[in-house]
Amino acid sequence: MNHFHLEVQYVHESITLLNMIAQPAGFETEYMNRLAARYGITPDEEAKRYVELLQEIEDAARAEFSKDSEDIRFFCGMPKLSESIISFANVLMLVGKSVWRESSVSKYYDELKDLSEAEYNRNFYDEVKAFGSRTVDEEAEDEISALEIFDLIQQMDFSDAEKLHLQKLYIHHKEYCEKFASLMERSAKVIKKFEKKLIAKGKRVAEHFESLLNGTSMAAYIMNEFYGDHETGNNFEECDIYITYIKGVSMGLSFKMAPKAIVNIGAIFDPSIRIEDVLKNQATLDEDKVLLMLKLLADKSKFEILSATVDKPAYGAQLASMLGLTTATISHHTSALLDQNLLTLDKVDTKIYYRANPDMIRTLINFVKKELLHE
């Protein structure tokens, strides 16, 4: 059964908005236009109006924080903001991979303050490991030391300056969490002014998916359609679905609350902008996408991951052992391969298994043969 949650998730949404205003003005419009071009989507009038609403929210936030630009850049500034729109502020506040739930910013910060040092370390470690990855392997269970956190940061695909900055955020996390929580509170107040319009859009999104799914759980639909999960037989009959408003194009899954699945879905999806369109155009190749894929395959580790999962799927720790890499490095590589649809996912019990996508690999090979051999 699908349970739609239309309430604005202020913890996540407030950080997303701050991450956006750390970037040049007009981010929302440019971001949505870029994704529409990438997936070959032509938005209808309702979608255009929603993008205008999001841009209005961004502009209001820029006005609110006009005197705080230095602090915003310190916490949220990233040289290259990924499509997931996360920054090191998500890591600091332990909001990168957390399960979505109703909570005010103040209540969430109170819970954050109550964490023991060991609990914060363990969660911070998991946040760093998951940063920029579309999947998360097993969470740390043992006690994590500061040295282990520093070692993990050094393994990540960050610049030296970014590594030093993340270490600084960790060392002074109590001070910085308090300061950033106050920025989140103000960001949430900006969003609150637009809450009625956002929830009205969320209702239309929920109605669209209820009609589309016709009783099928959203998690099962995404796993089958997006990840090609045809073999595990997972039904995920209980599914909580949270509408993502500020990041209007979003699709995420969490099995942390298994057997119940948690899904977040962007508010831009409706009868005119369908998940099926995204899936269809993701499988369409052009010269730029092919060159990016070939660049990925030129990396030995990524090539070996595909080779190792052609006949049999493997989860992150297995791949790390097979290839002599850390699980953090595996997460980085698999995320890049998933982005280009070169890998698919299987969900078995509590583990995420990776499998090479033969259909996309075959399509890539045929494209190269056609262009270079005229076959």
Write down the residue that tokens 């990855």 correspond to.
133
Residue 141 confidence (pLDDT): 62
Q: What does the domain layout of the chain look like in residue ranges?
A: 10-192, 196-274, 283-373
CA distance 72 to 27: 15
CA distance 91 to 89: 5
Contact indicator for 66, 106 with CB cutoff of 8 Å? no
Residue 242 confidence (pLDDT): 92
Q: Which residues contact 273 (CB under 8 A, 6 or more apart)?
A: 41, 43, 44, 47
Q: pTM to 2 decimals? A: 0.81
3-class secondary structure per residue, the chain = CEEEECCCCHHHHHHHHHHHHCCCCCHHHHHHHHHHHHCCCCCCHHHHHHHHHHHHHHHHHHHHCCCCHHHHHHHHCCCCCCCCCCCHHHHHCCCCCCCCCCCCHHHHHHHHHHCCHHHHHHHHHHHHHHCCCCCCCCCCCCCCCHHHHHHHHHHCCCCHHHHHHHHHHHHCHHHHHHHHHHHHHHHHHHHHCCHHHHHHHHHHHHHHHHHHHCCCCHHHHHHHHCCCCCCCCCCCCCEEEEEECCCCCCEEEECCCCCCEEEEEECCCCCCCCHHHHHHHHCCCCHHHHHHHHHHHCCHHHHHHHHHCCCCCEEHHHHHHHHCCCHHHHHHHHHHHHHCCCEEEEEECCEEEEEECHHHHHHHHHHHHHHHHCC
Residue 232 confidence (pLDDT): 46
Domain 283-373 has CATH 1.10.10.10: yes
CB atoms within 10 A of CB 94: 22
* Cβ-based burial of 288 (10 A; exposed 0-12, middle 13-18, buried ≥19): exposed
315 backbone φψ class: left, alpha, beta (φ>0; ψ -120 to 50): beta
pLDDT per residue as tens, the chain (375 positions): 899 999 999 999 999 999 999 999 999 999 888 877 776 777 788 888 999 999 999 999 999 999 999 999 999 998 777 777 889 999 999 987 555 666 799 999 999 999 999 999 999 998 998 887 655 555 666 789 999 999 999 988 789 999 999 999 999 999 999 999 999 999 999 999 999 999 999 999 999 999 888 888 888 887 777 655 444 445 667 889 999 999 888 877 777 776 788 888 999 887 767 666 665 555 567 777 788 889 989 999 999 999 999 989 998 889 989 999 887 788 778 878 887 888 887 766 667 789 998 888 988 898 888 888 887
Residue 97 confidence (pLDDT): 59
Residue 238 confidence (pLDDT): 82
Q: Which residues contact 200 (CB under 8 A, 6 or more apart)?
A: none
Contact indicator for 251, 275 with CB cutoff of 8 Å? yes
Q: Which residues contact 161 (CB under 8 A, 6 or more apart)?
A: none
Residue 134 confidence (pLDDT): 58
CA distance 368 to 375: 9
